[in-house]
């Protein structure tokens, strides 16, 4: 979910001729606002779509004309009055099926990701972070980054000590300001 889109715009502005970005957002109003900002910034390496990521992602990437080389980023956090950019973590067990990162979406990401492509997930909600970790740890085609690159620092449980993207999301800034811990994992698709 791309939320307001600012995070992706910052990434797109940082790598204008190197990478392309696609933001999927379930709230059409947010997509329209992001498109206005894109026009003002004259960025041509980013696009936003009104879509439900768990349902639409597979179809979108399978229709993409080239391989998915770069990272797929999933950001989840608590939904509170201060920040509406992150989807609801759905704490009640009966609502876990509404969480964004589900097995079909994980499968679609991994199936369409080129070898060496990365999946970055983070949340300020430990329960959600553990759920994402469990789902991604089960995928044989993915390796956790600490097994591949000792330069990327992780704690004893494999959570990244810093954001490897180099740009923090609005939710991340807010959560850290409030004293919350951000739980991050980075995976890379194995060379076949």
DSSP 16: T
Catalytic residue of the set 80, 88, 137, 140:
88
Of 139, 142, 146, whose CA–CA distance to 184 is shortest?
146
Q: Is the torsion defined by CA of 139, 142, 144, 146 positive or negative?
A: positive
Q: Distance between CA 135 and CA 128 in Å, rounded?
A: 11
Phi then psi for 58, rounded to 5 degrees?
-55, -50
Secondary structure class of 147 (helix, strand, coil)? helix
Q: Distance between CA 42 and CA 40 in Å, rounded?
A: 6
| Maximum separation of any 2 CA atoms in the chain, in Å | 45
Does residue 134 have an active-site annotation? no
Residue 180 token pair? 């919350």
Residue 174 token pair? 């807010």
Which of the residues are catalytic? 88
């Amino acid at each position: 979910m791309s939320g307001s889109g600012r995070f992706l715009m910052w990434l797109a502005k940082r790598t204008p001729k190197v990478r392309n970005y696609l933001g999927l957002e379930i709230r059409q109003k947010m997509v329209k606002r992001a498109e206005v900002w894109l026009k003002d910034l004259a960025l041509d390496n980013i696009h936003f779509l009104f879509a439900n990521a768990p349902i639409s992602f597979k179809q979108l990437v399978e229709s993409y004309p080239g391989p998915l080389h770069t990272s797929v980023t999933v950001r989840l956090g608590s939904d509170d009055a201060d920040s509406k950019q992150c989807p609801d973590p759905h704490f009640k067990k009966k609502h876990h099926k509404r969480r964004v990162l589900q097995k079909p979406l994980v499968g679609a990401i991994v199936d369409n990701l080129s070898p060496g492509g990365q999946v970055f997930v983070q949340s300020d909600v430990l329960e959600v972070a553990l759920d994402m970790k469990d789902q991604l740890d089960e995928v044989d085609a993915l390796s956790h980054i600490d097994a591949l690159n000792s330069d990327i620092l992780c704690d004893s449980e494999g959570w990244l000590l810093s954001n490897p993207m180099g740009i923090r999301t609005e939710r991340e800034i807010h959560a850290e300001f409030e004293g919350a811990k951000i739980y991050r994992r980075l995976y890379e698709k194995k060379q076949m």
